[in-house]
Amino acid sequence: MSMARLSTENSNSELKRARIEAPLVLGFSANDKIETIQPHDDALVVTLRIGGYDVKRVLVDQGSPVEIMYLDLYKGLNLRPEDLTVYDSPLVSFEGKIVTPRGEIRLPIQISSDVVKVDFIVVDAYLPYTAIVARPWLYALEAVSSTLHQKVKYPSNGQVKEIVGNQSMARQCMVVAILHRPNMKSSALI
């Protein structure tokens, strides 16, 4: 009788150990779309805590190799020009224009209790977003993003946590971007 109890206790402790050691799976299902407006083609726009401030209209762009901060946000965070380090590689804007960066700055992005430091390239260009977070931020957070599901999921303390996008904010940004297009001829719309 004691042998049967011992083997049962061993298998129970092995099950507990297997559950603890199982890796987290980051993924999306139909349930992740429940609170979104479907169908849509909205960008993934979130609010993040950057440099100690809650920053709205941050675009999550998993296709970009660099994080971008627009000059208005840089000034709004009360950062000074001398806080920048040199970044001398030109960038191409969404409008196809060459943009010379003002410099680069390393700032923390805090999500809940998790903090990731990111190198932002500061540019003086127009875009309806305040900042763009990209692959380096996603990789540092070990996160996956989905524009369809309007979420970013990442592992933290043995759990899967998520950042939820704001479709209304994404749509407002799109309208502002369309209205701001320079040199757009009305005949092109006909």
Torsion of CA 64, 61, 67, 182, to 10 degrees: 90
- Listed in sequence order, the residues at least 6 apart from 74 whose beta carbon sits closer than 8 Å to its beta carbon are 102, 105, 122
**Residue 102: per-residue pLDDT:** 95
**Residue 6: per-residue pLDDT:** 46
Q: How confident is the model at residue 104 (pLDDT cuts 50, 70, 90)?
A: very high
Task: Judge whether residue 18 has pLDDT over 80.
Answer: no
Average pLDDT over residues 48-59: 96
Say what the pTM is: 0.81
* Domain extents in the chain: 37-181
Report the CATH number of the 37-181 domain.
Answer: 2.40.70.10
- Give the separation between CA 21 and CA 14, rounded to whole angstroms: 10
**Residue 12: per-residue pLDDT:** 55
Task: Judge whether residue 13 has pLDDT over 60.
Answer: no
| Region of poorest pLDDT, from 65-79, 90-104, 128-142 | 90-104
Cα 52-163-133 angle, rounded to 5 deg: 60
| Bridge partners for 108 per DSSP | 117
Task: Judge whether residue 153 has pLDDT over 90.
Answer: yes
**Residue 15: per-residue pLDDT:** 53
The closest of 64, 63, 163 to 116, measured between CA atoms, is 163
Average pLDDT over residues 77-95: 89
Q: What is the pLDDT of residues 109-138, one digit of tens each?
A: 999 889 999 999 999 988 899 999 999 999
